[in-house]
Amino acid sequence: MSVQERKQRERADRERLIVAAARELAEQQGWDAVTTRRLAERIEYSQPVLYSHFRGKREIIGAVALKGATEMAAALRAATVGAEGPRERVAALARAYLDFAERNPAVYDAIFQLDGGLAYAQEDTPEPLKDAFAALMETLAEVAGNGIDPGLFTEVFWASLHGIATLTRAGRLLPEYAEPRVELLVDRLAVI
């Protein structure tokens, strides 16, 4: 391995360490607790080292969002693999989405709530974000209904899931309706 390759590998390792530390700190204490000073202390590097990877917190949030989107896409696909039939796949997809949002609140916020400097629904949208949307659409396209654009249907279904996830986390929805809510969403929105 050349010196250049070793330096590139070390740089990539440091970047992964910064992103993991930011995510961990945000999950434990919220995004307000994530500062370059605290991250530098946590990973035992100086603040200038952090700034050599990321220009600031916004880019760190973006990096957490991209990693989280990759994880979300994998979770959504894994949830639908064993499901029999379209209705079961859609219900499994909805449950997996809501479960991801509940288990990873800071990552979910990085993807969907905070400004990470990422483009959404545009030509230059980063691939992990496109793939997370594709993971939703792969299942939802088959239940969109005749004459309904699968992308549009996916947006509406996703918006419903996002609303449920956000309102649930804020304590605005009754917990005992969690499963009936998913069933209602699947039965009323999907054409099965």
Could you tell me the pLDDT band of residue 27, with boundaries at 50, 70 and 90? Answer: very high
What rounded mean pLDDT belongs to the chain? 96
- The pLDDT of residue 70: 98
Q: pTM, whole model, 2 decimals?
A: 0.94
The reported pLDDT for the residue numbered 191 is: 81
pLDDT of residue 59: 97
Q: What is the structure's pLDDT at 131?
A: 98
Q: What are 161-170's pLDDT values in tens digits? A: 999 999 999 9
Q: 52: pLDDT confidence band, cut at 50, 70 and 90? A: very high
pLDDT for the residue numbered 1: 76
The confidence band for 190, taking pLDDT boundaries of 50, 70 and 90, is confident
Query: What's the rounded mean pLDDT across residues 19-37?
Result: 97
pLDDT digits (tens, 9 = 90+) for 168-187: 999 999 999 999 999 999 99
Q: Which amino acid is at 91?
A: A
What residue type is assigned to position 34 of the chain?
A: V
pLDDT at 28: 97
d(CA 113, CA 109): 5
